[in-house]
Structure 1
Amino acid sequence: MNGVINVFKNRGMSSFDVVRIIKKASKEKKVGHTGTLDPEATGVLPVCLGKATKIIDYIMTAEKSYYVKFKLGVKTTTYDLEGEVVEEKDSSKLRNEEILDVINSFKGEYLQVPPMYSALKKDGIRLYNLARQGIEVEREGRNINIYDIKNIYISNPYISMDVTCSKGTYIRSLCYDIGEKLGVGATMTELKRTKTSIFTEEESVNIDEIEENNVGEFIITLEEALKSYPKININKGYTKLFINGVKVGDKRSLDLKPKIGQLYRVYDEEKVFIGLGKQDEFGFKIEKLLI
């Protein structure tokens, strides 16, 4: 089986649990998810099977959308309800306008420090393993981008909102950072991923519905999974060069002039999808062969 299943993960299960269920149902050895969701989080978790495991990174780098709810005035070790409460403050004196201004100030790029309870590594050791030992280490901030925050609903101390963001964003950390800027702290109470790349909650299939006798019905082709990338065709006589990994500078090799740095879905002379390619100043080359 080669393709992607747009899975909706339920609360109380790990992302690895989802992969294990898909592996068992599909009897496919190569299976991988496209970005970890914490056990208490729910939502969209595209799972790649067979040859589609080659495109995991391309799905992971796409923007993501979340519904999140958090509580002001509480700080925990994990930035969510799984952790121990380390500080509590009264948030009742904060005006809604003040809260709204601070939330909106996080739109755009900012340097986000990931939480200690995360799967990132420090000297080869997962941060959450260090955190469980009571060890806190300095974490480098990472440039992330909050593309949009909308549908903000404030019922102090609780706030809910929809967030669209770049790869690598920790929504728990966003909630924590909003609380810090307001001076009262905050902890995430609910998280649902509503979109990853082209994969939406509305078009997802709940993991509980997937079984051995129906798993094939939910598979999306590689071509469909990558439809957000523009299409480019190889002209007659050049296909073999591209398939063999040659960077081709001849303008006659493609049916249109590619933009430098843009990733394209590449089709051969027979209009068969063969992979993903990119143009640089010297020519066009297949970056990921998918045949």
Structure 2
Amino acid sequence: MKSATEIDGVLLVDKAQGMTSHDVVAIARRVLNTKKVGHCGTLDPMATGLLIITVGRGTKIQDLLMSEDKEYYGTLKLGETTNSQDAEGETIETRPVPDLSRFDIDEAFAKFRGDFYQTPPMVSAIKKDGVPLYKLARQGKEVEREPRFVRVYAYAVNEVRLPEIDFRVVCSKGFYVRTYAHDIGESLGCGAHLSGLRRTKSGRFVVDGAVTVDELKTLPREELYSRILTLPQVSRLRGA
């Protein structure tokens, strides 16, 4: 059996709803019996899908893996804005949803493609003077946030069943899908929040075949070791 010190690489996990990315890291540390575990790109508790877990020397390429493009499938709900811009926040405004045509919806999504600036939400881990914004938001404070340059490479409106819209988006690092949902709602004149989110891809890594959280908890350690991508495998996958 391999010792924990010999484990280096990447484990792809399909994060379950209702848990933090840190929760998954804590489980991985325990079951793999090593402290050197990290993750690439936080998923909010509400979101499910691909979480790249780095192990051992894999933690050294964490920033590299985090910088890659991501693919998400999401659902936005029109007519309600929340303080977190997703379903976990408190509703701050309710507006009637107009009888929107598919053309209206397509037009709103088309405004947010290619390169543009996005203002991050107050409920986020971005720091202002060393304090995470979400802590300031809990105190009822709102501070000016620096708009971020982001890119939408591709998107699709998959299904419209008002007040909900299902969509797919392929975006750059640092992109907030909940802000995307919020901004599209504002463009449509009735507001919106993100009501569901699943990350399906990050760089060349896909969620298909990823270890579920239940498997992470229950599979024998040797089997989990066999599911870890080695650093040469990661390099080949990335085309490096």
Alignment match, 1:281: none
Alignment match, 1:34: 40
Alignment match, 1:217: 226
Alignment match, 1:147: 153
Correspondence for 1:53 among 59, 62, 79: 59
Correspondence for 2:235 among 212, 226, 236: 226
Unmatched tracts of structure 1, length 5 or more: 231-264, 266-291
| Greater length-normalized contact order (CA 8 Å, ≥ 6 residues apart) | 2
Change (3 A) 1:229 1:200: closer
Contact in 1 for aligned 2:98/2:190 (Cα 8 Å): no
Alignment match, 2:3: none
Alignment match, 1:62: 68
* Aligned-residue identity in percent: 43
1:230-275 CA-partner distances (Å, limit 9, x unpaired): 4xxxxxxxxxxxxxxxxxxxxxxxxxxxxxxxxxx4xxxxxxxxxx
* SS of residue paired to 2:165: strand
Q: Aligned-pair RMSD on alpha carbons? A: 1.2
1:148-185 CA-partner distances (Å, limit 9, x unpaired): 10252111210001110000000000000101111111
Contact in 2 for aligned 1:74/1:185 (Cα 8 Å): yes
User: 1:275-286 counterparts in 2 under 5 A?
Assistant: none
Alignment match, 1:276: none
Alignment match, 1:188: 194
Name the larger-Rg structure.
1
User: 1:107-186 counterparts in 2 under 5 A?
Assistant: 107-186=113-192
TM-score (norm 2): 0.93
Change (3 A) 1:205 1:109: same
* SS of residue paired to 2:109: helix
Unmatched tracts of structure 2, length 5 or more: 1-6
1:21-62 CA-partner distances (Å, limit 9, x unpaired): 111111122100001000111000010000110110111000
Work out the CA distance in 1 between the residues paired with 2:33 and 2:237.
29
Contact in 1 for aligned 2:203/2:238 (Cα 8 Å): no
Work out the CA distance in 2 between the residues paired with 1:159 and 1:72.
8
Work out the CA distance in 2 between the residues paired with 1:201 and 1:173.
23
Work out the CA distance in 2 between the residues paired with 1:143 and 1:227.
29
Alignment match, 1:261: none
Alignment size in residue pairs: 231
Contact in 2 for aligned 1:69/1:189 (Cα 8 Å): yes
TM-score (norm 1): 0.77
Work out the CA distance in 1 between the residues paired with 2:26 and 2:71.
25
* SS of residue paired to 1:140: coil
- Report the alpha carbon displacement of residue 219 of structure 1 after superposing the two structures with TM: 0.4
Q: After alignment, is 47-56 or 144-153 more displaced?
A: 144-153
- Report the alpha carbon displacement of residue 132 of structure 1 after superposing the two structures with TM: 0.4
- Check if 1:81 corresponds to 2:87: yes
* SS of residue paired to 2:236: coil
Alignment match, 2:211: 205
Change (3 A) 1:5 1:54: same
Contact in 1 for aligned 2:157/2:165 (Cα 8 Å): no
Amino acid at match of 2:65: I
Amino acid at match of 2:111: S
* 4+ long deviations beyond 3 Å: none
